Amino acid sequence: MAINFSQLKKLNEGKTKVIYENPDDPKTVYMRFKDDITAGDGAKHDIIEGKALIDWQTNRDIFEYLNRCGVQTHYISSPEEKVSVVKKLDQKINLEVVSRRVATGSILHWGNAVEGTRYDPPITQFHYKDDPLHDPLLDEKYVEFIIAKKNGWEYRKMVEFNVEVFLHLERAFAHFNIQLVDMKLEYGIIDGDVYLIDEITGGSFRLWPYAKENPDLNQANVLSELDSKGRLDKDTYRMGETLDKVFSKFAVIANITKNFKDLKVN
Ligand SMILES: Nc1ncnc2c1ncn2[C@@H]1O[C@H](COP(=O)(O)OP(=O)(O)OP(=O)(O)O)[C@@H](O)[C@H]1O
Ligand SMILES: [Mg+2]
């Protein structure tokens, strides 16, 4: 039977999802995807009909894969289209945790990185979540200090989880000749521990197809090995492509992640 959301209490509504209480289980909530797409911390905003369904599929297939890999995530199940059940957050951690394998995007502007530089292991950066302030970056030295001197176990776990998740997803996309370039994740506290929460969809990462059959991805700069113009992710939207084109790229991602269920995990 379909869930009647008009009768459920809305706990939170963000740019891309609505969170509803689950009257049958106070330890979980419903996460319902919306057709909205935003960029520039909400400055650019559109509705793409059908995007909620595509995002829900991508998110479901990625989280089910990560759960199989043994990552501690909030994801439980997807009882109907556009709706997932997740463990309810006890405490939000107001950070976006970014991992980068290949330098591109904002790091080229505020850092001195050369596009295509390969980071090994992937680097992790924390951004304080605040749209009006454009999600400022936390100083790396400060994070190191918190971990080393202030028992910042949550930060340590987030770094560990972020790299772990990055490597699992990088390996998964590699089966489809695609490089996971970078990625943004969110975490929260559930039952006193750090959990991967929120969503992983086309807006969470950059995906660049391989430019050739057997790319050499173990060099200092991998730009020539990758087809950045063939990008599948939300950069298409940021760069002003038509909404139809953006939708078709997100659909390609969902068509890839639907195969994650067949991947072996180790
Ligand atoms: N397991 C969870 N339990 C409760 N709330 C959650 C859970 N996972 C994610 N949320 C919350 O769902 C809300 C809606 O998500 P959405 O991504 O639409 O928000 P947003 O506009 O991006 O805002 P935010 O900057 O808070 O993420 C967010 O506040 C997010 O923290
Ligand atoms: Mg969000």
Place of tokens 């891309």: 16
- Amino acid at site 86: V
Domain of 83, in residue numbers: 5-87
How many angstroms separate the CA atoms of 168 and 76, rounded? 19
Q: Kindly report the CATH number assigned to the domain that includes residue 217.
A: 3.30.470.20
Residue range 55-110, pLDDT digits in tens: 999 999 999 999 999 999 999 999 999 999 999 999 999 999 999 999 999 999 98
Tokens of 249: 């790229």
Q: Quick one: pLDDT at residue 41?
A: 84
Q: Quick one: pLDDT at residue 42?
A: 86
What 8-state DSSP symbol labels residue 35?
A: S
Question: In this prediction, what percent of the chain has a pLDDT beyond 70?
Answer: 100
Residue nearest to atom 13 of ligand 1 (CA): 14
14 close to ligand 1 (CB < 6 Angstrom): yes
Taking CA atoms, 213 is separated from 102, 178, 216, in Å, by: 19, 11, 10
Same domain for 124 and 192: yes
89 close to ligand 1 (CB < 6 Angstrom): yes
Place of tokens 């959990």: 195
Domain boundary among 61, 87, 113: 87
How many angstroms separate the CA atoms of 20 and 211, rounded? 43
pLDDT band (50, 70, 90) for residue 1: confident
Question: Rounded to the nearest whole angstrom, what is the distance from the C-alpha of residue 16 to the centroid of ligand 2?
Answer: 6
Same domain for 156 and 37: no
Same domain for 196 and 95: yes
Same domain for 256 and 227: yes
Same domain for 204 and 109: yes
Same domain for 162 and 218: yes
pTM value > 0.95: yes
Residue range 23-43, pLDDT digits in tens: 999 999 999 999 999 998 889
Same domain for 171 and 123: yes
Domain boundary among 42, 57, 87: 87
